[in-house]
Amino acid sequence: MKNLLRNLIVAALALAAPSLALAQATRTWVSGVGDDANPCSRTAPCKTFAGAISKTAAGGEINVLDPGGFGAVTITKSITISADGVEGGVLVSGTNGINVVNTTASDVVVLRGLDICGLNTGLSGVNFTGGGTLHLEHVRIYQFTGQGVYFAPSASGAASLVVSDSVIRNNAAGGIWVLPGAAATAKAVVRNTKLNNNFRGLRAEDGSTVVVEDTAANNNTSNGFVAYGNNNRPVDMTIERSTASMNGSVGVYSGAQSTVRISNVTATRNSTGLMSASGGAIVSFGTNNVAGNTAADGAPTSRVSTM
């Protein structure tokens, strides 16, 4: 009797093993005609990112097979969501598009090729409050009432944001806001990205180190690029080969406890081109074009020679 019971248990576990493995596949797929009751395999894809992520192992990848809207998703582990060459839509109303929460310092989240739309009622396009590293590659984020990207790591230690080859536009509160929590610091790189028609382009605060390359912050209601430190937590921002134009207030702003270094930057047709306040510094490498601003061009607080 004992042997029979043992054999039945072994058989049951053997039958269950394939489904358990499938539930945590390293690669899963979604399709516009998929079903979340499916195993998210290549031939039986899921319908939504939320349906696929529970069946994808930490460090795995969700791939978009064909065009579709795949819904909001909350991410709590290392994962890649990739829509290469197809429309990977996240269409939301009244909520965040993608939440990254409770991730640890070793976690890496990659969002590639996604089209994230808030229909002018969504909160933030990407809301990051965890730890680790977030990569945004070839994404479009628009029509949110909050930020396009709200990067506010709460875990102790340094978190990293890398935004490349992306368009973040028409967001009512701002394009990108880097705001680490009291126990955290943030490193951000924004490369070859358009931050246009938001309330402001990029704002970095409180213990942030930011590098901006080949990026445009144009036609924002308020400022283009902003650095502002609080609570004895300085901000360091470097802007290279970038443009701040037609912004309603300041093209490049350095506030309290902040240093902004500019090289090959054009600031034109803003209300004010460059502005430093409350002890903030703007250091010019002497290769910038600041002219044609409507109220004042402004000036750097210091200049250093190129080598």
Closest to 24 in 3D by CA, of 49, 48, 59, 50: 59
Task: Let me know if residue 19 belongs to a domain.
Answer: no
Is the dihedral angle over the CA atoms 217, 219, 225, 230 positive or is it negative?
Answer: negative
pLDDT digits (tens, 9 = 90+) for 240-294: 999 999 999 999 999 999 999 999 999 999 999 999 999 999 999 989 999 999 9
pLDDT digits (tens, 9 = 90+) for 46-78: 999 999 999 999 999 999 999 999 999 999 999
Task: Let me know if residue 3 belongs to a domain.
Answer: no
Q: Residue 157's pLDDT is what? A: 84
Task: Let me know if residue 264 belongs to a domain.
Answer: yes
Task: Let me know if residue 4 belongs to a domain.
Answer: no
Q: How many domains does the chain have?
A: 1
> Where residue 307 falls among pLDDT bands split at 50, 70, 90?
low
Task: Let me know if residue 15 belongs to a domain.
Answer: no
CATH code at 110?
2.160.20.10
What is the radius of gyration, based on Cα positions, of the chain? 23
- Rounded CA gap, 73 and 81, in Å? 11
pLDDT digits (tens, 9 = 90+) for 158-209: 899 999 999 999 999 999 999 999 989 999 999 999 999 999 999 999 999 9
Q: Residue 24's pLDDT is what? A: 83
Tell me the residue range of the domain where 234 lies: 60-303
pLDDT digits (tens, 9 = 90+) for 32-45: 999 999 999 999 99
Task: Let me know if residue 1 belongs to a domain.
Answer: no
Task: Let me know if residue 186 belongs to a domain.
Answer: yes
- Rounded CA gap, 86 and 172, in Å? 27
pLDDT digits (tens, 9 = 90+) for 91-132: 999 999 999 999 999 999 999 999 999 999 999 999 999 999
Burial level of 275, CB count in 10 A (0-12/13-18/19+)? buried
Task: Let me know if residue 51 belongs to a domain.
Answer: no
